[in-house]
Structure 1
């Protein structure tokens, strides 16, 4: 078992482990609603569209988290406004904003080579360079996300499964949708500097999607997603340590791999006959009929 525990004898790997656990819990809460609401494309667009805010903040010498928050928040507001048009679907609005903000971000990065190297770390993450203040920030983000998820649970459930009924019951689905966008924005912005804007999508979608294949109740999906995210963190850090690969990318890759394993298990579960069930084309004694 030494090969499993050796990496965590090093202080910065332990810091990375705690960061990964906090990110996993954060993404499990927000990602469950992303999966149930069918907002995966929006999550992907936000994680990429933040490039513009990060680049501008870096140029101005401002904390890149502020730039990321403004950029992701601007995209969320833009999607909310554009989707009100009866001639534009939400996917079209997201696609337009995604392409526009990403292209502007690339233009800004290509125009100033002086900070392009620094931006690489922000875009792809550096989970092994996590500091105490980063953990504190993740803890605050997790507390806020959990509080919003608990207080808005009924609204989010109604919005995810029957928006018209939510409106009939007076739950105001549009404010609930905006609040949900804010929840996703907070999760992405708080996590991107740990696993990177291009990799946070893996933890946001992979574990909740894997858990949703086996669980039916929303709290159970969140719990399963959190456990899978933590497992992805531990496995990713161990593999990264021994294989000398990028830690953040390895964690995200493990999260996606666990989803495919879960999907394969779900497929086999539905194809294999369960005890007491007579296979199609057989009689009660198992003989062809």
Structure 2
């Protein structure tokens, strides 16, 4: 069993594992609400929307997480502004800004010289390069995400049922929507170091989809999604170590595979229960 533990004897792999677990917890909290509200497109849009901020931060030499946060927040505010002022639908607002921000990011990358290595890290992440300071940031982000989800639990549940119900109960659906967008933004930005802007939705959505096959309770889904996501991090790091593949992409692929396996197991269990519950034919 030494092959299972040998990679994790190295300090940088240990940091990658701890960072991946923290990202898993945060993405499980935000991803559960993304699945419940059917907002996976928002997560994808924010992941690509932070590309220009990351690219500009890299060119200017400022912290990339700061650039990612500013860009993602600007996009989320832009979505709300287009909805209110231009009277566009939610999907249309996301689609316009999604393409616009992605194009702006590509323009910045193409204009800067000697940007190939940085562009790879931006798009696909570099979880093995997580530093001790990054772990502190991820820990704070996870605590903020969990705290926000706990404080806004009732408004978020009411919003998931019906916005009109939330308004009648005085639970401020607009505030709940802002909290949800903030959670997704926080998860996307925090996960950037691990899996990059292209693959972050894999950790945001896939573990929650896998967990949702087994439970309908919000809290239980979050816990199970965090466990599944952490397992995907372990499997992804091991596979990338021995197969010499990109760690972030392998982790995202493991999370997607977990969702497929969970769906298959659930279908098999349901079929077995139906066979067991079906009445035996009467003898002639």
Q: TM-score, normalised by structure 2?
A: 0.95
Secondary structure at the aligned position of 2:14 is classed as helix
Name structure 2 gaps, 5 residues minimum.
Answer: none
Structure 1 segments, 4+ long, off by >4 Å, are none
Matched with 2:8 is 8
Give, in whole Å, the separation in 2 of the partners of 1:12 and 1:61.
24
Q: Secondary structure at the match of 1:198?
A: helix
Between 254-263 and 113-122, report the one with greater CA deviation.
113-122
Equivalence map 1:266-277=2 (5 Å): 266-274=266-274, 277=277
Question: Is the aligned partner of 1:202 residue 2:202?
Answer: yes
CA RMSD of aligned residues (A): 1.7
1:224 equivalent in structure 2: 224
Q: In the alignment, what sits opposite 1:281?
A: none
Query: Please, which of 257, 280, 284 is the counterpart of residue 285 of structure 1?
Result: 280
Q: Report whether the alignment pairs 1:97 with 2:97.
A: yes
Q: CA deviation at 1:287?
A: 5.0
Uncovered stretches (5+) of structure 1, i.e. residues with no partner: 279-283
Match of 2:233 in 1: 233
The CA deviation at 1:238 is 0.8
Structure 1 counterpart of 2:186 = 186
For 1:143 and 1:123, locate their aligned partners in 2 and report how far apart those are by CA, in whole Å.
26
Aligned residues: 284
3-state SS of the aligned residue for 2:21?
A: helix
Q: Which residue of 2 aligns with 1:163?
A: 163
Q: Which residue of 1 aligns with 2:80?
A: 80
- What's the counterpart of residue 66 of structure 1? 66
2:29 is matched with 29
- Give, in whole Å, the separation in 2 of the partners of 1:249 and 1:54: 19
1 or 2, which has the higher helix percentage? 2
- Which deviations, in whole Å up to 9, do the C-alpha atoms of 1:179-221 show, x marking residues without a partner? 1111111111111012211111110101011101110110100
Query: TM-score when scaled to structure 1?
Result: 0.93
How many angstroms apart in 2 are the aligned matches of 1:98 and 1:45? 5
Conserved 8 A contact 2:125-2:194: yes
